[in-house]
Chain A
Amino acid sequence: MNIIVIAEHFKNSIEDITFEMLGKGKELAGATGGQLIAVLLGNDAKALADNLRAAARIVYCDSPHFAEFNPEAYGKALAAIVPGLSPGMILVANTSAGMDLAAGLSVDLGIPLVAYANAITAGSATSQLYGGKVNVESALAAGPVIIAVLPGSFAADAGKGGGAPAVEAVAAPDFSSLKTRFNKRMEPESGDVDITQQDVLVSVGRGIQNEENLAIVQALADKLGGALASSRPIVDNKWLPKTRQVGKSGLKVKPKVYLAVGISGAPEHWEGMKDAECIIAINVDPKAPIFGFAHYGTTADLFDVVPAITAAI
């Protein structure tokens, strides 16, 4: 079965999720006697293609419309290119960009989609659903299927390096009637602290209940000589600046110690802190997904245990 990997890149560099998909795709193509084919859309795509040599074949498409991600232009091109590759399985990143592609491709090509996948075999794909509380395995019928792959599910190293694949260019479709136009990209304002450079992060989630209570976790972060970070809802509430957000749409952090306080451990949060050396979770819900990947945990109430830690130092 041919495994098609839709390569994701950002700011002129191939994203790790692409290597994860190439690694997994290679294994699946090998097991089923098919070819691993990478599809790359870009403004100067050929220059990036060399990174995708884990594939047996690289199909790239150049267009000024691909200089920045554009849901419509990318979607249109993929719907034109993919059917010609005799796809068995199409791997798309379950990322901000990939989310705009996978479901559209499913409708345009009439191919089923399994999203949020963190495990894949030739006949099944497992989705991480319900905020990470339940995994759902789908049986794949014969015929092509699209799988949206959660970043961090597979080893990126397995998709690096490789041989001398065939590299082919395909022409871009007609983009004269696009209804979606890219304007500009905006970088976040740099904050007072860089949470990616800290040894200790005290990270706070919705369990903290209100803005005033942040003082409790801030006091602990100060005592530990670390910084305060948070899950997304805290930033959405504007209780902390965006630069403190850890996760899929926030920053990726690797501190020595990550103290997760009142954070459930949703997959989108996990993406940003999974590489922390030591994760300690404080959460009253014994079934919270965070306990599935924390190293240490307690179900004690944060309002009891956080002040107690501060007092104990």
Chain B
Amino acid sequence: MNIIVSIKQVPDLVEELEIAASGKELNREWLKYKINEFDDHALEEALCLKETLGATVTVIALDGEDIDKVLFTAAAKEADKLVKVTGVGDNPSSHEAAKALAGVISGMPCDLILTGVQAADDRDGQLGVLLAHYLGVPHVSVVTGVSVAGNTATVHKEYGGGVIAEFEVSLPAVLGIQAARQTPRYVPVARVRQAMRAATIDEVGGNTGGVSAGTSISRMFKPESGAGAQMLEGAPADIAAKIVGIIREKGIKV
């Protein structure tokens, strides 16, 4: 079985995000990036499938900030092949990214394509669904369970309230992974360095085929802080006393 995992980097949300002077983009100079956490789950699920069923796992990403390191990290986790798609430009829209990836993936042996259900900057939609439609294959998003038998994947899609629907999908198919069956594995830096020496990244030219998001960003802004919380200050004990006071005010008898 050939599994392709599409991954990308997104700004680390723990860091402060600054809006550039233009007001239409993030100030990227000091941005810290990390792998989209749902892509990390997609990779983990692919590696688990490889361990249980046997598979070749190919990790594909568009060229971009620090992407080699992210790909080598995947190799250190036992991904078999690494592909970097070049020539797409910086910060492509989801449509452009999906179209370019579809062009490359359509020339690769492939049964299952896994990617994160969404990413923090998906303004024009989720990559997996777009990719599936450009490739003309079925898709299921918000997936929390995958098993494969023959030419069919049985997948669990999650709705609100923890309700799950089970689908059978003929392969090849794209799955938007919400959560892998286990917490994504961690590899020590030494193993990543080792992978950097041992693994190779195939570079393939990509083409967005003229697609675009079709809308333009007119403004970026932080959510209104005026509507925000009343902040409690002081030493932990003072803050605690205030919180207990608020809880009692709400009629909770403690």
Name A's B-contacting residues (CB within 8 A). 10, 68-72, 95-97, 99-100, 102-104, 106-108, 111-116, 124-125, 127-141, 145, 148, 179-188, 199-200, 223-225, 232, 236-238, 242-243, 245, 248-252, 256-257, 259, 264, 277-281, 285, 287, 289-301, 304-305, 308-309, 311-313
Q: What's the tally of chain B residues with a CB closer than 8 Å to chain A?
A: 85
Known: A141-B215, A299-B231. 11 other contacts (CB 8 A): A10-B159, A96-B158, A113-B125, A124-B218, A130-B121, A137-B221, A236-B179, A248-B160, A250-B162, A287-B17, A296-B243
Give the chain A neighbours of B223 by CB distance below 8 A.
Answer: 128, 132-135, 289, 292
| A104 adjacent to B162 (CB under 8 Å) | no
> What separation, in Å, do the CA atoms of A72 and B138 have in the docked complex?
7
Binds A, one of B67-75, B196-204, B232-240: B232-240
> What separation, in Å, do the CA atoms of A232 and B221 have in the docked complex?
26
Cβ contact of B220, chosen from A137, A243, A250, A297, cutoff 8 A: A137
| A141 adjacent to B225 (CB under 8 Å) | no
Of chain A, the residue at the smallest CB distance from B157 is A96
The reply on B228 being an interface residue by CB < 8 A is yes
> What separation, in Å, do the CA atoms of A56 and B140 have in the docked complex?
32
The reply on B60 being an interface residue by CB < 8 A is no
The reply on B66 being an interface residue by CB < 8 A is no
With A186-B164, A237-B183, A311-B240 as known contacts, state yes or no: A199 contacts B252, CB within 8 Å.
yes
| Smallest beta-carbon distance A285→chain B, Å | 7
With A130-B17, A277-B250, A296-B243 as known contacts, state yes or no: A180 contacts B163, CB within 8 Å.
no
The A/B interface has a contact count, at CB < 8 Å, of 283
> What separation, in Å, do the CA atoms of A188 and B123 have in the docked complex?
31
The reply on B21 being an interface residue by CB < 8 A is no
Give the chain B neighbours of A236 by CB distance below 8 A.
Answer: 179, 183
| B214 adjacent to A145 (CB under 8 Å) | yes
With A71-B140, A106-B125, A180-B167 as known contacts, state yes or no: A305 contacts B222, CB within 8 Å.
no
| A71 adjacent to B139 (CB under 8 Å) | yes
| B254 adjacent to A188 (CB under 8 Å) | no
With A124-B218, A135-B222 as known contacts, state yes or no: A103 contacts B161, CB within 8 Å.
no
Give the chain B neighbours of A136 by CB distance below 8 A.
Answer: 123, 217, 219-220
Give the chain A neighbours of B253 by CB distance below 8 A.
Answer: 225
Binds A, one of B47-55, B105-113, B127-135: B127-135
Of chain A, the residue at the smallest CB distance from B245 is A312
> What separation, in Å, do the CA atoms of A145 and B125 have in the docked complex?
12
Name B's A-contacting residues (CB within 8 A). 11, 13-14, 16-17, 19, 26, 94-95, 117-118, 120-126, 129-130, 132-134, 137-142, 154, 156-170, 173, 176, 178-179, 183, 213-225, 227-233, 236-237, 239-244, 246-247, 250-254
| B13 adjacent to A264 (CB under 8 Å) | yes
Give the chain A neighbours of B168 by CB distance below 8 A.
Answer: 180-181, 183
| A300 adjacent to B236 (CB under 8 Å) | yes
| Smallest beta-carbon distance A233→chain B, Å | 8
> What separation, in Å, do the CA atoms of A72 and B133 have in the docked complex?
10
Give the chain A neighbours of B242 by CB distance below 8 A.
Answer: 296
Give the chain B neighbours of A250 by CB distance below 8 A.
Answer: 160-162
> What separation, in Å, do the CA atoms of A236 and B134 have in the docked complex?
31
| 10 A-B pairs with C-beta separation under 8 A | A96-B158, A99-B117, A129-B120, A148-B125, A180-B168, A186-B163, A250-B161, A296-B246, A297-B230, A312-B240
Of chain A, the residue at the smallest CB distance from B180 is A236
| Smallest beta-carbon distance B182→chain A, Å | 8
| A308 adjacent to B125 (CB under 8 Å) | no
| B231 adjacent to A223 (CB under 8 Å) | no
Of chain B, the residue at the smallest CB distance from A302 is B236
With A112-B124, A135-B221, A248-B160 as known contacts, state yes or no: A280 contacts B246, CB within 8 Å.
yes
Sorted nearest first, the 8 A-B pairs with minimum C-beta distance are A112-B214, A297-B229, A188-B162, A308-B240, A103-B125, A107-B133, A103-B129, A304-B236
| A182 adjacent to B165 (CB under 8 Å) | yes
Give the chain A neighbours of B217 by CB distance below 8 A.
Answer: 136-139
| Smallest beta-carbon distance A217→chain B, Å | 13
